[in-house]
Chain A
């Protein structure tokens, strides 16, 4: 049984560009949450998707947007990248929104 998978593993972008990160949840899970983890910090909640709708959002600007597909996979889009967006982006999936299982993350570097 595959766990949460994310792609790509690493990504380097230039300031001002746009990026799309992808996540496939653990089998049987229908809820996907995205977190940003800066170096040396705990993960910070970006938003959560359930039934293809954004159900909850953290304190992130509108440059961060997402989507959930009918197969429960999800995308995180970030527009107008800033140097401060450099971080590990984590996807977590759950079935009942309580126990959340994280993927390996996508390391985004903005230069």
Chain B
């Protein structure tokens, strides 16, 4: 059973546009929600993370929006660049499981110049 559901599977955006990736979860015990960026042949790199006590977190061009009541969170990439082309994974973690991350299936983002 997929603990974290991610959509879309792939996304094509024009340079300068906004990329939006969505994730949903069921387990209300999750209390930490990171996003990872992965380039081909590399390990996932931690991009940005949020906890459920805030509804939004912004770091540069990357913003996480969090809706606790809907059990959804999303990643927004503003002014998307070709260098942002990668696979993005959302994940969730609950303190009681001592750091185990549950990952979504990933979104392959392509930004056209």
Contacts and interface: CB of A to CB of B under 8 A. Distances in A.
A98 B94 CA distance: 9
A25 B36 CA distance: 18
A55 interface: yes
Interface string B61-100: 0000000000000000000000000000101010101111
A100 B106 contact: no
Contact of B44 (A41, A50, A90): A90
Contact of A99 (B49, B89, B105): B49
Contact of B97 (A56, A103, A104): A56
Given A42-B89, A98-B32, A99-B34, A48 B99 contact: yes
A66 interface: no
Interface residues of B, number: 25
Contacts, number: 64
Contacts of A68: none
A102 interface: yes
Contact of B43 (A31, A40, A94, A102): A102
Contacts of A99: 34, 46, 49
A52 to B, nearest CB: 15
Interface string B35-70: 010000111111001000000000000000000000
Interface in B95-111: 95, 97-106
B106 A42 contact: yes
Contacts of B100: 33, 45, 48, 56, 58
10 contacts: A6-B43, A41-B106, A42-B89, A98-B95, A98-B99, A100-B99, A102-B44, A102-B46, A103-B43, A104-B43
Interface of B: 6, 32, 34, 36, 41-46, 49, 89, 91, 93, 95, 97-106
